[in-house]
Structure 1
Amino acid sequence: MSSKNDMKLGVFIAAAGLVILLGKLGVFGFLGRALWPLILLIPGLILHVLFFTRRASASVLVPAGILTVYGLLFGLCNTWGWGLMRHLWPVLLLGIAVGLYEYSLYASPRSGGLTTTAVILGLLSIVLFIFTSMGTGALYLLGAVLVAAGLWLMLGRGRRGSRKKWNGGW
Structure 2
Amino acid sequence: MMSNNRYSLGIVLVAIAVILLLGKLGVFHFLGWLLWPLLIFAAGAALHMLFFGKVLPAPVLIPGGILVTYSVIFFVCNLFSWHLMAYLWPGFIFGVAVGLYELHLYDRYAPRGVLTAAMVLAIVSAALFCMTLLLKLGVYFIAIGLLAAGIVLIMRRSGTW
Give the TM-score taking structure 1 as reference length: 0.72
The CA deviation at 1:16 is 1.2
**1:21-76 Cα deviation digits (max 9, x unpaired):** 11001111111111111111233233323433444431221121011111111111
The code of the aligned residue for 1:47 comes to L
Q: Which runs of 5+ in 2 are unaligned?
A: 139-161
The CA deviation at 1:137 is 8.8
Q: Structure 2 CA distance, aligned partners of 1:23 and 1:110?
A: 49
The code of the aligned residue for 2:82 comes to W
Q: Which runs of 5+ in 1 are unaligned?
A: 139-170
1:64 match: 64
The code of the aligned residue for 1:69 comes to T
1:147 match: none
- For the 8 Å contact 2:62–2:103, the answer to whether it is kept is yes
Are positions 1:7 and 2:38 aligned together? no
2:90 match: 90
Matched position secondary structure for 2:109: coil
**How does 1:12-161 map onto structure 2 within 5 Å?**
12-135=12-135
Report which of the two structures shows the higher radius of gyration computed on alpha carbons: 1
Q: Structure 2 CA distance, aligned partners of 1:90 and 1:136?
A: 14
The CA deviation at 1:2 is 2.6
Instruction: Please provide the CA RMSD for this pair.
Output: 2.1
Matched position secondary structure for 1:3: helix
The code of the aligned residue for 2:103 comes to Y
The CA deviation at 1:93 is 0.7
Identify, as 1 or 2, the structure richer in helix: 2
**1:66-122 Cα deviation digits (max 9, x unpaired):** 111111111111111111110110001100111122112222422012222222211
Runs of 4+ aligned structure 1 residues displaced above 6 Å come to none
